[in-house]
Amino acid sequence: MEQSEITIAGDTPGVEWRLPVLHFRGDTKTAPKVYLQAALHANELPGTAVLHFLCDRLRKAEAEGALAGDVTIVPQANPIGAAQAHFGEMQGRFDLASRTNFNRDFPLVTLAERDALLADLDRETAVKRLKRRLLHMALGAELVLDLHCDDESIQYAYIDEAFWPEAADLASCLSMAAVFLSDGESTAFEEAVGHAFKHRGEGKLAKVPGRLAVTVELRGRRDVHPDTAKADADGLFRFLAGRGVVRASEPHAPAFTGPAVPLDNIDMVRALEPGTVLFHKDIGDTVEAGEMLATIITRPGLDDGLYEMRAERSGLVATRTSDRFVRRGDDLMKIVCKDRIRLDRAPGTLED
Ligand SMILES: [Zn+2]
């Protein structure tokens, strides 16, 4: 393993950001190249822990001469977000200076335009430089995984339909409970990578076999544990073995049997009244239409102080807010439904 560091000048005097990058060199030219990053939303750390343990396994594979493909790892992709704190809490999702989500606004380029990402970099702000650097590294690989997490959540991923069902091996290796099939129409990191993979010449490719760009949601923000991190690192290693990146005889993961549904099938349940939320359903539960999802204490102590939130449709509770006070309109849950339930959703991501 070699370590390098990308230096990004800050936007104010005296500030400079340093981004460590870990490189594992494979010995087989035809093997897929891999790029893995975590904590682009700086306060989402499950992936950083997973990549730490994956590096152990890759170092061992490298020492044993079992590494076929190059693997590039950025275990903590956003030093700028990690340094943002307000009143004792990290603000890792949005750049406070520009109000932009750290996982949006990636440039949409074709694969042939990859090197243009680094042209005139010194004219860009630190966040834009960081985004261009990350995307440039990713576009040097065929398999690209961006490791995030949700709030309280099952294990799932956003995968562009262009990579499905080929990517079911990843879903199976990481024991995902569901896959959200995205439409590739946003400027999130994974979608910018997918955009370049699909635009490799004339027109747009519907399928891109042998390539992958995915946003993995490694459960919830507080799900940073030694056991799950090691298990997920083993899962990623198994995925890499299956794709011919490492030569290892890994046990077969059971086939992925969870739901893989378009974003239009995701019911975004929002709080219709503000108050203290009492959940009746947990992540991983299945619900029937009409069942109680949550009660919100809207007027504490009063006879009619409870507001009931019932499921409008049946499905699987994939995520839940970790807040216990909700404002009107706040996201409460994502429920994976069997059928298309949203007819008016604009293409792109589910959340800001
Ligand atoms: Zn995220």
User: CA 240, CA 50: separation in Å to the nearest integer?
Assistant: 14
Pair 286, 315: CB distance under 8 Å? yes
How far, in Å, is the centroid of ligand 1 from the Cα of 189? 10
Higher-pLDDT residue of 6 and 253 is 6
Predicted confidence (pLDDT) at residue 41 exceeds the cutoff of 90: yes
How far does the centroid of ligand 1 lie from the alpha carbon of residue 119, in Å? 27
Distance 145 CA to ligand 1 centre (A): 12
Cα 153 from Cα 4, distance rounded (Å): 34
Average of per-residue pLDDT values in the chain: 96
How many A from CA of 219 to the centre of ligand 1?
11
Alpha-carbon span 218 to 213, nearest angstrom: 16
Residue 129 Cα, ligand 1 centroid: separation in angstroms?
19
pLDDT of residue 167: 98
Residue ranges per structural domain of the chain: 2-258, 263-336
Centroid of ligand 1 to alpha carbon of 197 (angstroms)? 22
Q: What's the pLDDT score for residue 194? A: 97
pLDDT higher than 80, residue 323: yes
If pLDDT is split at 50, 70 and 90, which confidence band does 346 have?
confident
DSSP secondary structure string for all residues of 237-260: HHHHHHTTSB---PPPPPPP-S-E
* CATH topology for the 2-258 domain: Aminopeptidase (3.40.630)
The answer, yes or no, to whether the previous bond of 259 is cis (omega within 30 of 0) is no
Mean pLDDT of the region 15-36: 98
Q: What is the pLDDT of residues 251-264, one digit of tens each?
A: 888 999 999 999 99
| 56 C-alpha to ligand 1 centroid (Å) | 24
Q: Are 75 and 123 in contact (CB under 8 A)?
A: no
Q: Rounded to the nearest whole angstrom, what is the distance from the C-alpha of residue 247 to the centroid of ligand 1?
A: 31
User: Does 342 have pLDDT greater than 90?
Assistant: no
Distance 38 CA to ligand 1 centre (A): 9
Architecture of domain 263-336: Beta Barrel (2.40)
Tokens of 240: 């890499």
β-sheet bridge partners, residue 218: none
Distance 153 CA to ligand 1 centre (A): 12
Helix axes 126-138, 189-198, angle to 10 degrees: 50
**What are phi and psi for residue 328, nearest 5 degrees?**
-60, 130
- pLDDT of 172 higher than 80: yes
Q: What is residue 110's predicted lDDT score, i.e. its pLDDT?
A: 96
Label residue 205 left, alpha or beta by phi (over 0 means left) and psi (-120 to 50 means alpha): beta
- What is the 41 CA–ligand 1 centroid distance (Å)? 5
pLDDT tier at 201, thresholds 50, 70, 90 = confident
Whole-prediction pTM value?
Answer: 0.97
Span 336-348, average pLDDT: 88
Strand-pairing partners, residue 326, are 275
Helices marked H in the chain? 46-63, 79-82, 126-138, 168-173, 189-198, 226-242
Give pLDDT, residue 351. Answer: 85
Cα(341) to centroid of ligand 1, in Å?
24
> CA-to-CA distance for 160 and 262, rounded, in angstroms?
9
With 0-12 CB in 10 A as exposed, 13-18 as middle and 19+ as buried, what is 170?
A: buried
Tell me the per-residue pLDDT of 328-339, one tens digit each, with 9 for 90 and over: 999 999 999 999
pLDDT at 127 > cutoff 90 = yes
- On whether the CB atoms of residues 74 and 38 are closer than 8 A, the answer is yes
pLDDT cut 70: percent of the chain above it: 100
Q: How far, in Å, from the CA of 267 to the mean position of ligand 1?
A: 19
Query: Which residues hold their Cβ within 5 A of ligand 1, which is an ion?
Result: 41, 44, 148
Q: Is 137 left (phi over 0), alpha (psi -120 to 50) or beta?
A: alpha
